[in-house]
Amino acid sequence: MAASSTNLAQSAASKLSQMSERTKQLVIQDPERQKRIILVIVCIALLLDNMLYMVIVPIIPDYLEELQNAADKAQEAILPTNSTNSTIHKATKGNFDLQIGVLFASKAILQLLVNPLSGTFIDRVGYDIPLFIGLNVMFLSTLTFAFAENYATLFLARSMQGLGSAFADTSGIALIADKYSEEAERSKALGIALAFISFGSLVAPPFGGVLYEFAGKRVPFLILACICLADGVLCLTVLKPFSNRERENMPVGTPIYKLMIDPYIAVVAGALTICNIPLAFLEPTIANWMEENMHSSQWEIGMTWFPAFFPHVLGVYLTVKLAAKYPHLQWFYGAIGMVFIGASSCTVPACKNFGQLMIPLCGICFGIAFVDTALLPTLGFLVDVRHVSVYGSVYAIADISYCVAYALGPVVAGQIVHDLGFVQLNLGMGLANVLYAPALLLLKNVTQMKPSFSERNMLLEDGPTGLYDTIKMEEREKKRKGLCTTIDENGTETFAQRSYSEESSGGDYA
């Protein structure tokens, strides 16, 4: 009996190994299929990150309020006459909005702090391992959210999500840019990724609200954890991050501080920050404004952003199509998007009901789609033509740009509304976008740069900076001197002078 069980287990293990090997061979033999599978893995990771980012919007404030009420009742039952504790709880209630703001911003703040390190780490070890690490941290974060019973644990879960996002988001976008080297393909692939980001952000609040209402707090997080686990297994099976040694023969990426002072990259990063400020600042403030000015119901507040998904996808589609026909106008598409965002932001305070409010919110998301879809591929192109084609650090800069907006939003937006007013907030954000749009004119001549300029000149002028560069320099030197490589009977590599006939016969070095 034991022998048959052992044989059965060995047979099952053998079949699983064969299936894994077949999957690996299938992916390796078809580069197009490999790229599509990688795109699916990255899109699922981005979807999960943004769903987890927004799913807490309808859940956490209500859940924290329940916890606070339960704590107050328990305290009153134990010490009904203790005025000091009563004062403390009143103060805690007064700081309730601040607690929620800090909790929401903690993800973006930690992501902002970790991104410079994660970008450098990605450039050193490749894209697969950081993506797998990020998915694992996000999985742990989601489980922590599901079983958290107090504010400190929720804060830990939110911060862990920021850590996971700094690795998963940056390496995922960089991996797409690396695999899709053609500009038209890259724009399309990054557009698909942006569509998943938008879908995750906009569908998460109704998804979380409905499940929280009917199934409890844990269910939405457990569902997201299962999807994250499946994506991690797919990443481990297909990409095999710990067995990939291709990084040993790849170039050393440009340090992130050098990329940050590149004027073209700085202009793109500024545009990404400015265009996301309206979305980041409206998300924590628009619910209270709708209650006070429109007397909106909870379902209207919950559905505020959902219709904006469709113009966002439309914006991505239009930008990809336009970029394929007129690739030299990427800067113009970004500028048009910023004007759209600015005009829409200025019209938000003029809305009188839920139906009217949908129009400027759709305009904001439509404009953001134009800016992101036009400028994210531009970052990859800038690295190709001005630096080394390694994308971890440059997309870490893009992630930093987003995080600046989303870190400030939950903390600063409420204070601005309190001090200046909701109308002034929107007018300021709209004006900032319109005024920044002409700065994208600096990118007008970027497409005239030749893609081969950077790497060729770095190898010839700057000297070798890594194993890949050293090999290239040695090959150039051999070609110049007319040397060919031979292997003697002892297995030792030697160099021999090629004859004129060899050189002129169209051989390996011709």
Count of domains forming the chain: 3
Predicted pLDDT of residue 333? 92
The verdict on 230 and 263 lying in the same domain is: no
Q: Which of 217, 244, 271 is the last residue before a domain boundary?
A: 244
For residue 492, the enclosing domain spans: 463-497
The verdict on 179 and 275 lying in the same domain is: no
The verdict on 162 and 107 lying in the same domain is: yes
The verdict on 270 and 417 lying in the same domain is: yes
Predicted pLDDT of residue 477? 52
Tokens of 140: 């742990």
Predicted pLDDT of residue 97? 65
First to last CA, the chain: 67
Predicted pLDDT of residue 492? 44
Q: What is the Cα–Cα distance from 446 to 377, expressed in whole angstroms?
A: 12
**Residue 109: inside a domain:** yes
**Residue 89: inside a domain:** no
**Residue 3: inside a domain:** no
The verdict on 158 and 290 lying in the same domain is: no
Predicted pLDDT of residue 30? 67
**Residue 135: inside a domain:** yes
Predicted pLDDT of residue 126? 83
Q: What is the Cα–Cα distance from 398 to 269, expressed in whole angstroms?
A: 6
Burial class of 149 by CB neighbour count within 10 A (0 to 12, 13 to 18, 19+): exposed
The verdict on 169 and 304 lying in the same domain is: no
Three-state DSSP class for 271?
helix
The verdict on 428 and 478 lying in the same domain is: no
Spatial contact of 395 and 386, defined as CB atoms under 8 Å apart: no
Residue 387, H or E segment: none
Residues facing 484 on adjacent strands: 496
Question: Can you state the percent helix, strand and coil of the chain, rounding each to 5?
Answer: 80, 0, 15
∠ CA 183-400-308, nearest 5°, is 70
**Residue 434: inside a domain:** yes
Q: What is the CATH number of the domain that holds 140?
A: 1.20.1250.20
Q: What is the Cα–Cα distance from 166 to 149, expressed in whole angstroms?
A: 26
∠ CA 19-137-383, nearest 5°, is 85
**Residue 350: inside a domain:** yes
**Residue 250: inside a domain:** no
**Residue 178: inside a domain:** yes
The verdict on 212 and 118 lying in the same domain is: yes
> How many helices (H) and strands (E) in the chain?
21, 2
Q: What is the Cα–Cα distance from 403 to 309, expressed in whole angstroms?
A: 21
The verdict on 141 and 270 lying in the same domain is: no
Q: What is the Cα–Cα distance from 265 to 262, expressed in whole angstroms?
A: 5
Predicted pLDDT of residue 143? 92
Q: What is the Cα–Cα distance from 33 to 5, expressed in whole angstroms?
A: 38
The whole model's pTM is what? 0.75
182: amino acid identity, one letter: E
pLDDT in tens, the chain (510 residues): 555 555 665 665 566 556 555 555 554 456 778 888 889 999 999 999 888 888 887 777 777 777 777 766 777 677 654 444 444 444 444 466 677 778 888 888 888 899 889 888 888 888 888 999 999 999 999 999 888 888 888 889 999 998 999 999 899 998 898 888 888 888 888 888 888 888 887 788 778 878 887 887 888 899 999 999 999 898 888 887 776 555 555 667 788 888 888 899 999 999 999 999 998 888 778 877 887 887 777 677 767 777 888 898 899 899 988 888 888 888 899 999 999 999 999 999 888 888 888 889 899 999 999 999 999 988 888 888 888 878 888 899 998 998 888 888 777 887 888 888 888 999 999 999 999 999 999 988 877 775 544 443 444 344 444 444 444 455 555 544 444 444 444 444 444 444 433 333 333 332
The verdict on 66 and 191 lying in the same domain is: yes
Three-state DSSP class for 273?
helix
Which string of DSSP letters, residue by residue, matches 149-173? -SHHHHHHHHHHHHHHHHHHHHHHH
The verdict on 235 and 283 lying in the same domain is: no
Strands 483-487 and 493-497: antiparallel
The verdict on 359 and 431 lying in the same domain is: yes
Which string of DSSP letters, residue by residue, matches 80-144? TT-HHHHHHHHHHHHTHHHHHHHHHHHHHHHHHHHHHHHHHHHHHH-SHHHHHHHHHHHHHHHHH
